[in-house]
Amino acid sequence: MTTTDERQPGAPVVSLGMPLVGGALGRAHGHGTSGLETSETDDRSARLAAVRAGDIGSVHSWELVTAVDGPGTRMTVFLSGCPLRCLYCHNPDTMEMRRGTDVPADELLARIARYRGVMQATGGGLTISGGEPLMQPAFVRRLLHGARAMGIHTALDTSGYLGSHLSDEMLDHVDMVLLDVKSGDPDTYKKVTGRELAPTLEFGRRLAARGTEIWVRFVLVPGLTDDVANVEAVASYVATLSSVTRVEVLPFHQMGRDKWADLGLEYQLEDTQPPTPELVERVREQFRSRGLTTF
Ligand code: SF4
């Protein structure tokens, strides 16, 4: 995913007091759970069976947000674990699934139900993000089915790298996908994420063929993803996806820097500056010139 990782500073966020884990956020496990029960068991095989069935998921945090992560007021659930290693990741504490907190799907769905009114009144819904949510497809399936059963709009925020983990049956329960296209050039993609670009491109085409609404997100990092040809490659690909209704160019910022140090990880973008307004405008214009609605 992305994610809150790539959210623009200043976006309105209301914390619901989920057990945030990963010391980088300055919150200890179990603080302010607001009645949400986590799942703790010493029976490893029972836990594994529950995880495989999607009854339990490894959750990083959740938030109630407006005007980000999809339309309206949304409950965004951030799952732990990610196969990518983006150099600019703003929440590296979501990369390892083991850092998450085990939460039963039913507990999460009960919490989602509490916010159904505000979601429906604002045209919002549930967004499942990460980390990479498709690291936990059974859990995602449970949440999607549960939300849909309540009549709640569903969005999935993903890099698409694990798109093959999402069955057509699961996609039937997804109203929209926030697709992070981190680069258009395979070599740059590898440099940025450590992984291959092709699965993301394939997943986007599959979504478009089904008519699933897509919002594309592109993180603009000076010296890394801002090359004219790289942006052209992203824009020309996105222009072929008929179900894209919006492109978001997200300017890089340094808000996640300290988390890398806290986790003992090497952060390579120490000296990278946020893009200038002129650069952001140039890149947005590259998308707009393809007829794409771009923010
Ligand atoms: S490493 Fe994973 S969670 Fe971090 S920005 Fe990349 S896709 Fe998102």
The CATH number of the domain holding residue 40 is 3.20.20.70
- Cα distance between residue 161 and residue 82, in whole Å: 10
102 is a domain residue: yes
182 is a domain residue: yes
Range of the domain at 282: 4-288
Mean pLDDT, residues 198-217 taken together: 98
Atom nearest to 130 CA in ligand 1: 3
pLDDT over threshold 60, residue 93? yes
**pLDDT tens figures, 129-179:** 999 999 999 999 999 999 999 999 999 999 999 999 999 999 999 999 999
257 is a domain residue: yes
Mean pLDDT estimate for the chain = 89
**pLDDT tens figures, 5-45:** 444 433 344 444 443 322 222 222 222 234 457 877 778 89
Residue pair 181/237 in contact by the 8 Å Cβ criterion: yes
Looking from the CA of 127 toward its CB, the CA atoms found within 13 Å total 33
266 is a domain residue: yes
pLDDT over threshold 50, residue 213? yes
Q: Quote the pLDDT of residue 36.
A: 58
94 is a domain residue: yes
Calculate how far, in angstroms, residue 61's C-alpha sits from the geometric centre of ligand 1.
15
Assess whether the C-beta atom of 175 lies below 6 angstroms from ligand 1: no
Calculate how far, in angstroms, residue 253's C-alpha sits from the geometric centre of ligand 1.
14
Q: Quote the pLDDT of residue 59.
A: 96
CA torsion angle 94 97 100 102 (round to 10): 150
Count the domains in the chain.
Answer: 1
Q: Quote the pLDDT of residue 91.
A: 94
Calculate how far, in angstroms, residue 222's C-alpha sits from the geometric centre of ligand 1.
18
Assess whether the C-beta atom of 82 lies below 6 angstroms from ligand 1: yes
293 is a domain residue: no
Atom nearest to 131 CA in ligand 1: 3
Q: Model's pTM, two decimal places?
A: 0.89
Assess whether the C-beta atom of 22 lies below 6 angstroms from ligand 1: no
295 is a domain residue: no
Q: Quote the pLDDT of residue 6.
A: 45
109 is a domain residue: yes
